[in-house]
Structure 1
Amino acid sequence: MKDFYTLKEIEQQKRLWLETINLVKEKKEEIKSFLDKNDFKNRKIIFTGAGTSEFVGNSITPALGGNVLSIATTDIVSNPENYLKKDEKVILISCARSGNSPESVATVKLADEIIDDVCHILITCNKDGKLAINKKDDKKALVLLMPEESNDKGFAMTSSFTCMSLTGLLIFNLESLEKIEDVMKKQIEKIKDEDMKLLIDSLITLDISRIVYLGSSCLKGVAEEAALKCLELTAGHMSLHYNSPLGFRHGPKSIINDTTMIITLLSNNDYTRKYELDLLKEMYGENKKKVLVTLDMKNSDEARKNSHYYYTFNNDDNNAEDVFNMFSYIYFAQLFAFYKSKSFGINPDNPCPTGEVNRVVQGVIIYDYKGESQC
């Protein structure tokens, strides 16, 4: 097989996750000092980014609790006053692979202009990006650089997404770094590339035109990213969707036809699983033909018998929280997207050579904000 950046960048993640933990360990006191100095417990915390960088926040904020939100830069830039309040104390956490997308740079600028008391954490994979350079000497900002290899050369964000997600979790769990490192090592042990490839080889041969990823809470954010990955790498040859298992019944289930594949990311939470398994049983028993694929962290006979394809990451340690299981799930989804792309004869490193979609967004004009009233 021709060497592809994208495949290399997917496979290197298991090593980069441990490197990311070590980077945060090295900066632990600096991060703690910055958070304490800026009274982070009494601030609104906003994770922001565009596309996959937005989905970092969407995936991890449900697990962080408190006053932590995820808001896209693309929403903030077009309607600043709906999200940035002059009299609120805010930590803006900007996630960005390149640090050069127009909306990311503009969001930081808007926050500085609108909010009286704002500080910044910039989680980025590019030391030479505008986000890192613009704020490197700002005492109200903390720049956290990811491992250099996470600045993906391929079109799609893979290792950049997971390294930034892991960092977002770590900075608010500084007293649990060793525990989280153990959890991540167990996740890495669960990821068996050859076993996943056997399933993926079967899935990519099926006559499928629509794929739906389903996940609850943190895993809904992961489902969103998984859907985008396949959409990007297949250059729109397939229709990709995402939802929560409970939300899927409320209209979106209409997407199901004879060429629909539904991939469910099962939760490890016993209460949550009850709702997810109910939907699996419902869909499996319906007359309309579809392909049900279930990914699981447990070993469930019930899930297996109500799926056409069932894959478990279980290796006798199935108690991890979903926010950590997301790393195994997205790894599978990235691999699936890569091989599905190749099955269409597409170059996964450059799925849109005609330039309508680019590695770093182009064509965005940023306008001066005059404090107009938004609604």
Structure 2
Amino acid sequence: MTDQVYLGFTYTELEQKNAVWTAREISQQPRLWQMLSETLAARKNQLDSWLAPILAEPVLRIIMTGAGTSAYIGEALQPHLQKHMSLTPGQRIEAVSTTDILSNPDMYLQSAVPTLLVSYGRSGNSPESKAAVQLANQLVDKCWHLVVSCNGEGALAKACEGNDRYQLLLMPEQAHDQSFAMTSSFTCMMLSTLQLFAPNEAQFERMQALALGILAEQVDGIANLATLACERLVFLGAGPLKAIAREAALKVLELTAGQLPSFYETPLGFRHGPKSLINTATQLVLLPSADPYTSRYDSDLRLELERDGQVLHLGAPLPLSQIQGLEDAWLGFPYILYCQIMGFFKALQHGVGPDNPCPTGEVNRVVQGVTLYPFTQD
């Protein structure tokens, strides 16, 4: 490992910057995606057999849940899965964060509606994740659990042992990020869900090739963009890419220890107030859709911003010529890789060690300080 180069730095250089794990975990993602796809292919029959009777429930509700970055997995995939899964008119897919379920369980859980709770967790030990599972079992008459986690020793994974209403999707060991910020854990858990519910080998191969191209050809360019002395960084994406923009904004905020305010919106939503944050020190990253219809709105906003000439820099991870034909849920993988790299270099620009950007402990790798209260219904 010590002779490896990640994101243009040697191991020794990364050690000095407190950045070894973050650089390694960002760089390893295309390789882990391949490993994960092979593992899922080997388990396909077993997983399909477990899911079949659940998906046959005529009014099934699938809730994809997690906290923070883990919650954005469901947000990124829900529109795509709703479109591509063979659902009956009474079935639906929703993305609801565990933090929302915990604070208002009776608003999000319905006792008479059969529910598959898909729980995402890097460690599987966050208090909200464990509580959301318990609340679902308490409040929903027929409830199943698909646990998607990177830690086989976590509480969520352990809950699956010996219970046929639970199923564990365990990510490759290397996806259990040791860095503070979730990178490979996010994309692996997102990919596993796509490959399970709406697999598409052609889309997978194209997105993986784009990601490899970013790592091989764009790292220096992203590093140069990160040196721009911006005061605000904005990420814009529509449809499934809105959640990718949200995750990108969180990555920058986390990795810079809050020193660089970062924001997200859709290109159309940006005009409705958020555009007022623009000044000549604002850097903006547009995540353009590959959908011909959606991309018209992306292009309109880009032209408007270029015409206004008020932003420090306006760019996109990939040109439209490279992304044509790729569905936006799959396009999210190379896009978030690009944004993770930008967040990494922004952290270094601000003198922050990305492996542990908050060493004083106000924010932790696994959330602490949450008091769980018993929920009783009137």
Global fold match (TM > 0.5): yes
1:109 aligned partner: 134
Matched, 1:19 2:35: yes
Distance in 2 (CA, whole Å) between partners of 1:95 and 1:163 is 11
Offset of residue 205 of structure 1: 1.9
1:277 aligned partner: 299
Distance in 1 (CA, whole Å) between partners of 2:310 and 2:245 is 23
2:277 aligned partner: 255
Offset of residue 178 of structure 1: 4.1
Distance in 2 (CA, whole Å) between partners of 1:40 and 1:290 is 52
2:45 is matched with which residue: 29, 32, 42? 29
1:132 aligned partner: 157
Distance in 1 (CA, whole Å) between partners of 2:207 and 2:29 is 11
Distance in 2 (CA, whole Å) between partners of 1:346 and 1:249 is 32
Moved more, 176-185 or 39-48: 176-185
Residue aligned with 1:295, SS? coil
Whether the 8 Å CA contact 1:212–1:261 is kept in 2: the answer is yes
RMSD of aligned alpha carbons: 1.5
Distance in 2 (CA, whole Å) between partners of 1:12 and 1:182 is 16
Q: Aligned residues: percent identity?
A: 41
Distance in 2 (CA, whole Å) between partners of 1:37 and 1:113 is 22
Offset of residue 336 of structure 1: 0.7
1:227 aligned partner: 249
1:321 is matched with which residue: 318, 323, 327? 327
Deviations 1:166-224 (A, max 9, x none): 01111113xx45445434443344x3324322222221221201011000111101000
Residue aligned with 1:77, SS? helix
Matched, 1:298 2:310: no
Distance 1:40 1:166, change over 3 A: farther
2:228 aligned partner: 206
Distance 1:6 1:291, change over 3 A: same
Distance in 2 (CA, whole Å) between partners of 1:64 and 1:210 is 33
Equivalent residues in 2 for 1:346-365, closer than 5 Å:
346-365=352-371
1:2 aligned partner: 14
Distance in 1 (CA, whole Å) between partners of 2:355 and 2:197 is 34
Distance in 2 (CA, whole Å) between partners of 1:52 and 1:40 is 30
2:62 is matched with which residue: 45, 50, 53? 45
Distance 1:258 1:362, change over 3 A: same
Distance 1:181 1:263, change over 3 A: closer
1:186 is matched with which residue: 209, 223, 230? 209
Deviations 1:30-80 (A, max 9, x none): 110111122356311110000000011111111001511110000000000
Residue aligned with 1:192, SS? helix
Letter in 2 for 1:369: F
Residue aligned with 1:126, SS? coil
Distance in 1 (CA, whole Å) between partners of 2:232 and 2:37 is 37
Offset of residue 297 of structure 1: 4.7
Equivalent residues in 2 for 1:49-64, closer than 5 Å:
49-64=66-81
Residue aligned with 1:131, SS? helix
Distance in 2 (CA, whole Å) between partners of 1:287 and 1:51 is 34
Distance in 1 (CA, whole Å) between partners of 2:208 and 2:337 is 14
Deviations 1:239-262 (A, max 9, x none): 110000000001111110121111
Unaligned runs of 5+ in 2: 1-12
Unaligned runs of 5+ in 1: 300-313
Distance in 2 (CA, whole Å) between partners of 1:181 and 1:288 is 37
2:349 is matched with which residue: 343, 346, 355? 343
Letter in 1 for 2:94: L
Whether the 8 Å CA contact 2:348–2:354 is kept in 1: the answer is yes
Distance in 1 (CA, whole Å) between partners of 2:180 and 2:14 is 16
Whether the 8 Å CA contact 1:256–1:290 is kept in 2: the answer is no
Distance 1:188 1:131, change over 3 A: same
Whether the 8 Å CA contact 1:25–1:177 is kept in 2: the answer is no
Residue aligned with 2:342, SS? helix
Whether the 8 Å CA contact 1:18–1:181 is kept in 2: the answer is no
Whether the 8 Å CA contact 2:230–2:312 is kept in 1: the answer is no
Residue aligned with 1:92, SS? strand
2:4 aligned partner: none
Matched, 1:160 2:185: yes
Residue aligned with 1:163, SS? helix
Distance 1:362 1:330, change over 3 A: same
Distance in 2 (CA, whole Å) between partners of 1:244 and 1:263 is 11
Residue aligned with 2:197, SS? coil
Distance in 2 (CA, whole Å) between partners of 1:288 and 1:187 is 31
